[in-house]
Chains A and B, each alone.
Chain A
Amino acid sequence: MGMTMTQKILAAHAGVPAVEAGALIEARVDLVLGNDVTAPVAIKEFAKIGCEAVFDASRIALVPDHFAPNKDIGAAEQCKVMREFAHRMGIENYFELGEMGIEHALIPELGLVLPGELVIGADSHTCTYGAVGAFSTGVGSTDMAAGMATGTAWFKVPEAIAVELTGKFSGWASGKDLILHLIGLIGVDGALYRSLEFSGEGIASLSMADRFTIANMAIEAGAKNGIFPVDGTTRAWAASVSKKAYVEHRADADARFERRLSIDLGSIAPTVSFPHLPSNTRRASEAGHVPLDQVVIGSCTNGRIEDLRVAASILTGNRVAKGLRCIVIPATKAIYLAALREGLIEGFIEAGAIVSTPTCGPCLGGHMGVLAKGERAMATTNRNFVGRMGHPESEVYLASPATAAASALAGRIVDPSTFSVGPGRA
């Protein structure tokens, strides 16, 4: 029987010719990732294992991004634990302030993940790298510790759901609108334990930024991973970030999919997830009157240069609504610099937004824009659970950079087409 793309990558890393859904395998990992919240717990567990060295100091990445720059003494202590461990173990990919960025934007940008690779990360959004045709999935701190010690991890080979994409986006529609729409369609546990495998001629028109955003939120449908086939766009991206060789895997024609969905990209409209689940979606044009206190444009989901260009195309030359706080967070140093050189930062600041150094910050209610009781934010982030961005009685509405920027100008949720028609896709 044929294998899905995910199953092929797992088989290759388990050193076996084939795997079947439901099988338990032990696989070699190409990269083990952690951040300032999850790595300190993993480091404590690693010490209990009793190994003196990590399995490969070039295959571990540690990124202080959640509460960094240190938001308080507790955060400072945690970052210090990670920094000291990185130095002691000779970890090559530890990124201090001034080099760092939000992990899931930084790792691909540095070419630390390539097609066909297997990555585990102690962060649920590790599934982002499915965008490049890698198998990557979030794990906890103990799995991270075991991975750092052994260079392996155990997996249950997942069943898969095929998502065929046809057509092209029109207007302001983007990868974010597609993934919110999909989560709305199948629910927050619609892909529980399963792979979401994307296919179809519609993929050709998706940028890498779109694919990163879509794969990033696979976890919000409960998926183990979300994965895209490798095409010309992927190869051009890979050549731009790394000289390393990589392996392209593709799903067999007779691969077994538990369920097949088809989505016409041309039917996707700007979409908003209402509180308190990512699956609680509505078209932005059908949001009704929802005044906003804050807009956040950034995160591992939508803090890439393409996202900032879209936001700037709406904000520049205009004025953020009086009384609304608009916070823009480039996801990495390189993105920040590019935005600066392209004049985007100036446009944001002149429009009345503020620009932060890279951090996860407000996405998880950490710092740089925590909400008070009763406040409402629209964010280009990935979760809108109770209390996610601050007070348990605050609200988060998830949307694309275009919808967030247009809503920042309006002071309430609006469809970005009220601002202009939008670029569409070539």
Chain B
Amino acid sequence: MEARGKAFRYGDNVDTDVIIPARYLTTGDPEKLAAHCMEDIDASFVTKVAKGDLIVAGSNFGCGSSREHAPIAIKATGVSCVIAASFARIFYRNAINIGLPILECAEAAAAGHGDELSIDFETGEIRNHSSGATYHALPSPPFIMEIVKAGGLIPYARAKAKVRAQGAAGKD
């Protein structure tokens, strides 16, 4: 699995209120949410972003509300990965759960706005084609890979619920 695109760069503490403002939360439709993604921090983002592009940011990306609408909106704009120095914990879980690739790598997150980046998710290698630099992100822990391999948390839970139902049937 690989990704390649240009970087949209933001600072520290990008919160979920600017990723998708609450005034748009009367829907869960990914396309409708994507139309307002990053609106309060960068109104031009949705007009400039192309499929495969990446968001790079500083520390504590996705802080604030637990709204899963935030990673859903980012994924639906076509963004292939968010690279940040660190992520807020609920956003981190949500991104994995809905299948938005994220990587923690402070060095790679220092890329310039518009830099061309590529990522090899198998090795964690991030290449900045504009600067020529190569970085290595920490690989995802095995249990995260299990969820990702299952296709996200829902297929993972589906398998578990089936086991539970079979267990309950066995007791009858």
Q: Is the CB of A387 within 8 A of B17?
A: yes
Asked if A67 is an interface residue, CB under 8 A from chain B, the answer is yes
CA A383 – CA B88 in complex, angstroms?
A: 15
Asked if B154 is an interface residue, CB under 8 A from chain A, the answer is yes
CA A38 – CA B39 in complex, angstroms?
A: 20
Chain A residues near B112: list those with CB within 8 A. Answer: none
Q: Which of B60, B88, B143, B161 contacts A149 (CB 8 A)?
A: B161
Q: Is the CB of A188 within 8 A of B90?
A: no
Interface string of A133-152 (1 = CB under 8 A from B): 00000111111011001101
Q: Which chain A residues numbered 30 to 85 have a C-beta less than 8 Å away from chain B?
A: 37-38, 40-41, 44-45, 48-51, 55, 66-67, 71-75, 77-78
Interface string of B40-70 (1 = CB under 8 A from A): 1100000000000000000110011111110
Asked if A364 is an interface residue, CB under 8 A from chain B, the answer is yes
Most A C-beta atoms less than 10 A away, residue of B13, B27, B66, B164: B66
CA A142 – CA B93 in complex, angstroms?
A: 9
CB distance from A138 to the nearest CB of B (A): 4
Q: Which of A142, A150, A152, A387 contacts B94 (CB 8 A)?
A: A142
Asked if B170 is an interface residue, CB under 8 A from chain A, the answer is no
CB distance from A133 to the nearest CB of B (A): 21
Asked if A386 is an interface residue, CB under 8 A from chain B, the answer is yes
CA A78 – CA B153 in complex, angstroms?
A: 23
Asked if A385 is an interface residue, CB under 8 A from chain B, the answer is yes
Q: Is the CB of A192 within 8 A of B68?
A: no
Closest residue of A by beta carbon distance from B18: A386
Asked if B97 is an interface residue, CB under 8 A from chain A, the answer is yes
Chain A residues near B93: list those with CB within 8 A. Answer: 139-140, 143
Chain B residues near A44: list those with CB within 8 A. Answer: 28
Q: Which of A41, A143, A150 contacts B160 (CB 8 A)?
A: A150
Asked if B23 is an interface residue, CB under 8 A from chain A, the answer is yes
Given contacts A149-B161, A188-B13, A189-B88, contact A383 B68 (CB under 8 A): no
Q: Is the CB of A37 within 8 A of B67?
A: yes
Asked if B157 is an interface residue, CB under 8 A from chain A, the answer is yes
> Which residues of A pack against B, CB within 8 Å?
24, 37-38, 40-41, 44-45, 48-51, 55, 66-67, 71-75, 77-78, 121-124, 126, 138-143, 145-146, 149-150, 152, 154, 188-189, 192-193, 219, 222, 224, 277, 364-366, 370, 383, 385-388, 392
> Which residues of B pack against A, CB within 8 Å?
13, 15, 17-18, 21-23, 25-28, 39-41, 59-60, 63-69, 71-72, 86, 88-90, 93-94, 97-98, 141, 143, 152-154, 156-158, 160-161, 164-165
